[in-house]
């Protein structure tokens, strides 16, 4: 799940663990989050504001106003604009203040102004962490709805070993990512997408294939992931880059695709079969390159197993199955026949007669038919936009909304 565009405020307190915030900031910026850092005066003794300002691409805020320019740092605006506030490292001192409503710094004022979720990641020595007053303050924060990122067990700055270490930046990033994922419409759903062509070997250097680029399937995988699904992408040969956070499995032949689909199908809530799978494959594959000898040449072929029909015969009432149809004539009738025959919930129809649609283009023009034969026609759009249209129908489908 991408954090792109999310406004994340990191409130840094005075702890030796503040050095970890430099790495965390880099991780968040790499995820395209907008990071605003607020520090206490004590925190600036452990890591310089210049370091964090450089990494976050934003000025670091410490005081309510800049005494040199008189510019006001509006704590209410900062708190209301944030999608999430992370207090890290959260010291015993700051935890005590915000738990009891003490407002004596820009950091505590932003906390009290916030309407967004607040995470706090404590960092302190073992005895301070275990002290009843600290634990009571933590319980108070949790009762307000604030979310604890539990400190880790390990060697502490004092030399003691035990709880109190600030969670590692990667762990905090995962915590934040999971939070936003849970708010997405497909959070908790498993999606399986097939994409691209298959190549059916004739000999070691030749194959039977088609012109599929895989662009439509990759756009769907990316959009499903953006909406919170855990996506497995089974891909035929293509030059496309794997979308972020998508689990990609590379295959070459129709048989290999069948095997991988069978491996992942059973645990998938959403199955989108957009790959252009070969209908036929050579009965025998030559072990050596076939030499050019005769004026004419023929290859004996056999049918491949129909993966979409196989999945359709096995799917449960809780699984949503979507297929694609690329037609050159009698488009609607052929698509409806395929929809029923293969037990699909939707079929996405492409016509080779539509300019800008079909293989290897960046655009597509689709007609979507559901199992009740309701038809929706869409205009020519980028494949990214087509993927969004398809995913909106997925989100609204009763199968995914039934309890």
Positions annotated as catalytic residues are 210
Are 192 and 232 spatial neighbours (Cβ–Cβ below 8 Å)? yes
What is the length of the chain?
Answer: 403
| Coarse DSSP helix, strand, coil percentages of the chain, rounded to the nearest 5 percent | 35, 25, 40
| Nearest residue to 390 (alpha-carbon basis) of 276, 194, 274, 220 | 220
Pair 113, 64: CB distance under 8 Å? no
Structure tokens at 397: 């489908």
Task: Dump the DSSP string for 15-35.
Answer: SGGGGHHHHHHHHHHHTT-EE
- Residue 136 is inside which H or E element, if any? helix 132-143
Q: Using N-to-C axis directions, what is the helix angle for 20-30 and 169-182, rounded to 10°?
A: 40
> Encoding tokens for residue 359?
């293989």
Angle (deg, nearest 10), helices 20-30 and 49-56: 10
Q: What are phi and psi of 94, to 5 degrees?
A: -70, -40
Count Cβ atoms within 10 A of the Cβ of residue 118 and give its class: 0-12 exposed, 13-18 middle, 19 or more buried.
buried
Residue 87 to residue 368: CA distance in whole angstroms: 47
Backbone angles phi, psi at 60, to 5 degrees: -85, 135
Tokens representing residue 241 in the block = 């880059």
Whether the CB-CB separation of 393 and 346 falls below 8 Å is answered with yes
Task: Provide the β-strand partners of residue 163.
Answer: 153
Helix (H, G, I), strand (E, B) or coil at 187: coil
Question: Taking a C-beta distance cutoff of 8 angstroms, is the pair 26, 253 a contact?
Answer: no
Angstrom distance (rounded) from CA 131 to CA 134: 5
């Amino acid at each position: 799940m991408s954090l792109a565009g999310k406004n994340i405020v990191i409130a840094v307190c005075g702890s030796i663990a503040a050095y970890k915030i430099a790495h965390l900031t880099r991780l968040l910026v790499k995820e395209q989050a907008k990071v605003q850092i607020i520090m206490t005066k004590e925190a600036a003794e452990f890591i310089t504001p210049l370091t964090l300002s450089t990494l976050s691409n934003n000025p670091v805020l410490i005081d309510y106003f800049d005494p040199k320019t008189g510019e006001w740092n509006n704590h209410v605006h900062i708190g209301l604009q944030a999608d999430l506030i992370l207090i890290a490292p959260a010291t015993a001192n700051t935890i005590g203040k915000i738990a009891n409503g003490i407002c004596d710094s820009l950091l505590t004022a932003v906390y009290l102004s916030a309407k967004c979720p607040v995470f706090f990641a404590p960092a302190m020595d073992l005895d301070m962490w275990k002290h009843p007053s600290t634990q009571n303050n933590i319980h108070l924060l949790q009762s307000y709805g604030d979310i604890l990122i539990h400190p880790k067990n390990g060697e502490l700055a004092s030399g003691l070993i035990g709880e109190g270490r600030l969670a590692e930046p990667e762990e905090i990033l995962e915590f934040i990512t999971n939070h936003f994922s849970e708010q997405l419409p497909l959070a908790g759903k498993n999606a399986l997408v097939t994409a691209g062509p298959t190549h059916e070997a004739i000999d070691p250097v030749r194959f039977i294939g088609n012109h599929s680029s895989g662009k439509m399937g990759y756009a769907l995988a990316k959009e499903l992931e953006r909406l919170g699904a855990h996506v497995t992408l089974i891909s035929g040969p293509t030059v496309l880059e794997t979308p972020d956070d998508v689990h990609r499995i590379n295959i070459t032949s129709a048989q290999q695709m069948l095997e991988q689909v069978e491996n992942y199908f059973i645990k998938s809530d959403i199955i989108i079969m957009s790959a252009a799978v070969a209908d036929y494959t050579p009965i025998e594959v030559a072990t050596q390159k076939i030499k050019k000898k005769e004026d004419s040449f023929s290859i004996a072929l056999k049918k491949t197993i129909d993966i979409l029909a196989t999945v359709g015969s096995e799917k449960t009432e809780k699984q949503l199955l979507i297929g694609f149809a690329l037609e050159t004539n009698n488009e609607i009738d052929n698509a409806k026949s395929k929809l029923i025959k293969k037990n699909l919930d939707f079929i996405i129809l492409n016509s080779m007669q539509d300019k800008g649609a079909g293989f290897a283009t960046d655009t597509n023009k689709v007609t979507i038919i559901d199992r009740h034969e309701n038809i929706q026609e869409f205009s020519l759009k980028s494949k990214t936009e087509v993927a969004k249209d398809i995913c909106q129908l997925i989100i609204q489908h009763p199968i995914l909304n039934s309890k």
